[in-house]
Amino acid sequence: MSMLRGGGPRARSRQSWSHQTLVSLPARSSTPARELSRRGLMALALLAAIVALVYFDRDAYTDNYDGSVTLIDAIYYATVTITTTGYGDITPITPTARILNAVLVTPMRILFLVLLVGTTLEVLANEGRRIMRDNRWRKQMRNHVVVVGYGTKGRSAVETMQNNGSNPAQIVVIDPKPSAIVDANLRGYAAIEGDATRRDVLRRAEIIKAREVIITLDRDDSAILVTLTVRQLNPSAHVVVAVREDDNASLLRQSGANAVVTSSEAVGRLLGLSAVSPNLGTVIEDLLSNKDGLEVGERQVRTDEVGRAPDDVKGEAVIAVVRNKTLRRFYDPTVAKLETGDQVVVVRHAEAELAEPDQPPPQSRRRPSRRDDW
């Protein structure tokens, strides 16, 4: 019975090998010129080894020109042999020399080709392709969104923008963690690894041509420094910053942030509302979630809505009107009637719900709470 449960020693051995966790070693960074130089020196070492092998055993070779093999002849033979040219004017004549050529020279010839030809082409092709893609990306990237910090808040912000119609190709992520860069690339976003407080990192993200900058860092002092740097490089971009402490919100606004979101205060307010009235907390959390229940959106006033009151809009609840770039609440008498060019902020059914009317009601398929993600 023990053999049946354990699968036998051989099965346990295979299982232990298949479940081993391998260490992830750091990659060695090297410039293309240095890599080519290193491979070239290795190729020269292989060539020198063949020259020494032929010269020290020169009596086992014959030259069709004069019969003897000198040092120059050994260099010549090694060169034409290792490059697979092989003119045949110098040949091994003894069985020992021929065996050494088959056992030693032939593998070194293959290794030489792999080192000098294959690696050279690979390095040059990859580097050239990377430079071309980078230059093409920089020429095309304008009016894009730069997200500084790709943690929980940064990922949620990017997903929300994409769910509201933003093009993933127009989103650039900056984060110092390699794992965050890999995750952003897998989701289809361009990403730059580095510290966003440095100007050169922001310039690599084409911050000068960016339309929107979202800053979601773990430290408020870093967020303030990044905001100041962004404002110096791009005075016209719309900058949105997440701050942990409300006392630092005024500093960020003075640094040039257009909008400041206090994450800790928002979480505390949501927790308090949920404690006072669970229904209030549920509704607010529903509004913050994507593709589920209710959602908040902004859109242009339609032609058939011009002249109507905000309360007369059907299928949606208008909670604010943007007129002349000024936000006005729905109860403001100046927006008693909608006009052409107005933007309305509405509460509506999630698009996923409208696309799937046969699904159960929102209460039965709500997603788990996201309060811990703030």
In tens, the pLDDT along 296-340 reads 888 898 888 888 888 888 888 888 899 888 888 888 888 888 888
Look at residue 101 in the predicted model and tell me its pLDDT. 83
Edge to edge, the sheet with strand 171-175 lists 190-193, 171-175, 145-148, 212-215, 238-243, 259-262
Strand partners, 297: 346
Query: Using CA atoms, how far apart are residues 255 and 253, in angstroms rounded to an integer?
Result: 5
Look at residue 138 in the predicted model and tell me its pLDDT. 82
Look at residue 263 in the predicted model and tell me its pLDDT. 72
Look at residue 233 in the predicted model and tell me its pLDDT. 93
Residue length, the chain? 374
Higher pLDDT, 242 or 287: 242
CB burial string 265-283: b at 16+ within 10 A, e below = eeeeebeebbeeeeeebbe
Between β-strands 259-262 and 238-243, what pairing exists: parallel, antiparallel or unpaired? parallel
- Give Cα separations from 169 to 63, 125, 143, 211 (angstroms): 65, 25, 11, 14
Hey, what are 169's tokens?
Answer: 């190709």
The mean predicted confidence, pLDDT, of the chain is 79
Query: Using CA atoms, how far apart are residues 5 and 175, in angstroms rounded to an integer?
Result: 48
Query: Do residues 255 and 227 lie in contact, with contact meaning Cβ atoms separated by under 8 Å?
Result: yes
Domains of the chain: 32-138 (1.10.287.70), 142-265 (3.40.50.720), 292-373 (3.30.70.1450)
In tens, the pLDDT along 196-254 reads 999 999 998 899 999 999 999 988 899 999 999 999 999 999 999 988 888 888 888 99
Count of Cβ atoms closer than 10 Å to residue 203 Cβ: 11
* Lowest mean pLDDT segment, chosen from 266-270, 279-283, 332-336: 266-270
In tens, the pLDDT along 13-34 reads 444 444 444 454 455 556 667 7
Look at residue 8 in the predicted model and tell me its pLDDT. 52
- For residue 234, with 0-12 CB atoms within 10 Å meaning exposed, 13-18 middle and 19 or more buried, which class applies? buried
pTM of the entire structure? Answer: 0.55
Look at residue 332 in the predicted model and tell me its pLDDT. 87
Statement: residue 172 has pLDDT above 80? yes
